[in-house]
């Protein structure tokens, strides 16, 4: 499978960024001290997490952070720092994506890669491995952790049972026994189920399926090495080469958008 060139990655980056912005709802930078963040970083062997300045930079490439930071270090010095960038759909999902930031010649970490959040900083947790030891073609997969806490039905069950007439209770007990459940579990099943956990699982599955197909974008690149003329083509050549790949990103993103909309509706049910 051919490798994408740096100009081709730049050309695809805007489409990937737009696709992610459409699929993800109201992403924010999480609190580095939150228990969920601390637990995830412990699992990943990363951290501690630190707020890092987000700085717009022409070298940054969304979706290919390591390539962008490598280009930055080639131009201005400094070093690459690899790790995890964290974001959050509040009360729904915590997300950690393998990432890289630029450490300037003074050692200050700066995130030059566009983000999905609107804050002026990102949350970055470095890993101990040196960037040059990483397999850049097989980076760790994006990590998802559910933040949603299902509604606790326990306080509602006892009053529902207490309100049953003796004949009704006897009837429900027989049905519970036939189903192999306690009366409490049987009554709990009568409440409307929380739709959010299933919606989260469906959305994460759609995101993982989208990510799994990204490497195959290289098969859609239409290389034109024989008739390339920089004076005639300029930046248009790269756009032409990546046109089919950019269209594929848009088409494949439709499943994520549908799953995201379903999750949003589950989290924010309409009144009435």
List, for residues 77-93, the tens digit of each pLDDT value.
Answer: 999 999 999 999 999 99
Contact 129, 139 (CB under 8 A): no
Global pTM reads: 0.84
Q: For the chain, what percent of residues have pLDDT higher than 90?
A: 61
Strand 109-111 versus strand 50-54 pairing type: parallel
CB under 8 Å to 44, separation ≥6 — which residues?
A: 84, 96, 125, 127, 143
243-268 per-position pLDDT tens digit = 899 999 999 999 999 999 999 999 98
Distance, CA of 19 to CA of 250 (rounded, Å): 7
Q: What is the pLDDT of residue 4?
A: 85
pLDDT of residue 65 exceeding 80, the answer is yes
Backbone angles phi, psi at 196, to 5 degrees: -65, -45
Q: What is the mean pLDDT of residues 116-121?
A: 95
List % helix, strand, coil for the chain (3-state, nearest 5). 50, 15, 35
The beta strands (E) that lie in the chain are given as 27-28, 50-54, 79-89, 93-103, 109-111, 121-126, 143-146
Distance, CA of 85 to CA of 126 (rounded, Å): 9
Work out the pLDDT band at 227, boundaries 50, 70, 90: low
Q: What is the pLDDT of residue 229?
A: 54
């Amino acid at each position: 499978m051919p490798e994408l060139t740096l100009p081709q990655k730049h050309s695809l980056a805007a489409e990937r960024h737009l696709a992610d912005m459409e699929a993800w709802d109201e992403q924010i930078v999480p609190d580095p001290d939150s228990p969920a963040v601390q637990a995830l970083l412990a699992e990943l062997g990363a951290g501690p997490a630190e707020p890092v300045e987000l700085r717009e930079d022409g070298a940054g490439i969304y979706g290919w952070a390591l390539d962008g930071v490598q280009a930055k270090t080639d131009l201005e010095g400094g070093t690459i720092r690899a790790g995890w960038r964290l974001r959050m759909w509040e009360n729904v999902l915590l997300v950690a994506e393998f990432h890289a930031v630029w450490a300037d010649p003074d050692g200050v970490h700066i995130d030059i890669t566009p983000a999905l959040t609107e804050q002026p900083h990102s949350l970055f947790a470095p890993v101990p491995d040196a960037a040059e030891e990483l397999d850049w073609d097989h980076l760790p997969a994006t990590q998802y952790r559910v933040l949603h806490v299902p509604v606790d039905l326990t306080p509602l069950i006892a009053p529902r049972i207490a309100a049953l007439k003796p004949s009704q209770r006897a009837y429900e007990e027989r049905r519970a026994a036939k189903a192999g459940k306690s009366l409490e579990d049987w009554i709990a099943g009568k409440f409307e189920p929380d739709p959010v956990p299933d919606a989260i699982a469906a959305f994460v599955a759609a995101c993982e399926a989208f990510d799994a197909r990204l490497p195959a974008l290289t098969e859609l690149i239409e290389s034109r090495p024989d008739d390339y003329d920089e004076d005639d083509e300029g930046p248009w050549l790269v756009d032409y080469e990546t046109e089919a790949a950019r269209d594929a990103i848009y088409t494949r993103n439709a499943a994520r958008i549908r799953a995201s909309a379903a999750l949003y509706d589950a989290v924010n049910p309409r009144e009435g």
